[in-house]
């Protein structure tokens, strides 16, 4: 622990999960901010948080808070993270970082100007099983990597008014689900040199399914699939000439990693699941943020997901949306 004092901005489901893991990890959670005092008070009481603010501004201006976790819907990330940064707070912004690259670049620029950390809360990058995946690749066990595939599919609420189907709230499969496989592909292969995307849109204009085929340096091919209307295994595979890595059954959360030879022999099995009492695993990203601040890495260049890469990934999502015809109201 570096002694950073955490505040949480918003009190929804993802904020609840994050607060639970901060408490399980013994990190210093000191304040919460909500749009209503009643909601802030209830959240604070649930997690033993000493200060509850009935506005986001109140949290941002709290002198006893060092870093704020932004847990609002996607279109509010930019404004809410900006508020925190302008008040001298580091930010851990729930994925997707923003709704587009322009907003992400603005946060990166403001954080640099203030000497603060602006970090995307892509928790998967910091989980033990993903650390092992990167080690296996670096060790050369796979030989030459030829393809990466990843998917994230869930059967989510169909109500048109639900946040997940409301374009005004950044609804659709891409920002909630597709960000995971696309970020995984970036983690393994880096930036694509060519992107082809297709998708199916709902009556609300939000995307229900999105698939991508991308080409990377050396001609390596990646594929991704996200769907909010059907649940599949949500696994990921890195295919090499000497072996493959299978990550799953739910690759984005703590899970197992298997390294398998072409003849089917299991070379390695790594159990990255969480043990009883360890929480969900969201605290790993919080610890990474604390280490970055302690090391003076406020540009986030040494993170498992560098801030500059979060910005570039938003550019990839922009191109995917351009091809499938999705524009958020906040952009117009």
In the predicted model, residues of the chain with pLDDT beneath 70 are: 1-2
Measured CA distances, 304 to 130, 187, 285, 289, 292 (Å): 10, 8, 9, 10, 11
Q: Give the pLDDT score at 2.
A: 62
C-beta separation of 167 from 328 below 8 A: yes
pTM above 0.95, yes or no: yes
Q: Give the pLDDT score at 307.
A: 98
C-beta separation of 324 from 199 below 8 A: yes
Cβ partners under 8 Å of residue 175, min gap 6:
74, 96, 99, 317
3-class secondary structure per residue, 292-312:
HHHCCCCCCCCCCCCHHHHHH
Average pLDDT, the chain: 97
HSE (CB half, 13 Å, CA atoms) of 30? 14
CA 241/CA 229 separation, integer angstroms: 34
CA 178/CA 184 separation, integer angstroms: 10
Measured CA distances, 259 to 138, 140, 182, 256, 321 (Å): 14, 12, 21, 10, 34
- DSSP assignment of 239-296: EESS-EEEEESSTTSS-EEEEE-TTS-EEEEEE-PPPTTS-SSTHHHHHHHHHHHHTT
C-beta separation of 94 from 71 below 8 A: yes
Closest CA to 93 of 75, 109, 112: 75
Q: Give the pLDDT score at 3.
A: 81
Helix (H) or strand (E) holding 323: helix 307-324
C-beta separation of 60 from 89 below 8 A: yes
How many Cβ atoms are within 10 Å of 302's Cβ, its own excluded? 12
Q: Give the pLDDT score at 1.
A: 47
- DSSP assignment of 122-181: -GGGGSHHHHHHHHHHHHTTT-SEEEEEEEEE-B----TTSGGG-GGGT-SHIIIIIHHH
C-beta separation of 58 from 84 below 8 A: no
C-beta separation of 104 from 131 below 8 A: no
């Amino acid at each position: 622990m570096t002694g950073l004092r955490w505040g949480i901005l918003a009190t929804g489901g993802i904020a609840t999960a994050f607060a639970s893991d901060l408490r399980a990890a013994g990190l210093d959670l000191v304040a919460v901010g909500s749009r209503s005092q009643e909601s802030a008070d209830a959240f604070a009481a649930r997690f033993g948080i000493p200060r509850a603010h009935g506005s986001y501004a109140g949290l941002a201006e709290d002198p006893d808070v060092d870093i704020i976790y932004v847990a609002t819907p996607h279109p509010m990330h930019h404004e809410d993270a900006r508020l925190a940064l302008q008040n001298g707070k580091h930010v851990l912004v729930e994925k997707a970082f923003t709704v587009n690259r322009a907003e992400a670049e603005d946060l990166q620029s403001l954080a640099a100007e203030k000497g603060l950390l602006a970090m995307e809360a892509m928790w998967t990058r910091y989980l033990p099983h993903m650390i092992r995946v990167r080690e296996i690749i670096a060790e050369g066990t796979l030989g030459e990597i030829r393809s990466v595939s990843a998917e994230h599919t869930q059967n989510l609420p169909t109500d048109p008014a639900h946040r997940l189907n409301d374009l005004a709230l950044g609804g659709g499969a891409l920002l909630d689900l597709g960000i995971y496989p696309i970020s995984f592909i970036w983690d393994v292969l880096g930036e694509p040199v060519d992107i082809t995307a297709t998708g199916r849109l709902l009556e609300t204009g939000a995307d229900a399914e999105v698939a991508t085929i991308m080409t990377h340096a050396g001609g390596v091919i990646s594929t991704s699939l996200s769907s909010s209307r059907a649940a599949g295994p949500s696994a990921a595979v890195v295919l090499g000439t000497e072996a493959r890595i299978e990550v799953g059954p739910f690759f984005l959360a703590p899970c197992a990693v298997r390294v398998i030879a072409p003849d089917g022999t299991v070379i390695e099995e790594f159990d990255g699941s969480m043990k009883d009492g360890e929480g969900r695993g969201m605290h790993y990203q919080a610890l990474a943020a604390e280490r970055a601040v302690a090391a003076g890495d406020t540009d986030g260049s040494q993170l498992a997901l560098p801030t500059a890469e979060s910005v570039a990934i938003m550019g990839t999502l922009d191109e995917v949306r351009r091809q499938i015809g999705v524009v958020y109201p906040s952009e117009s």
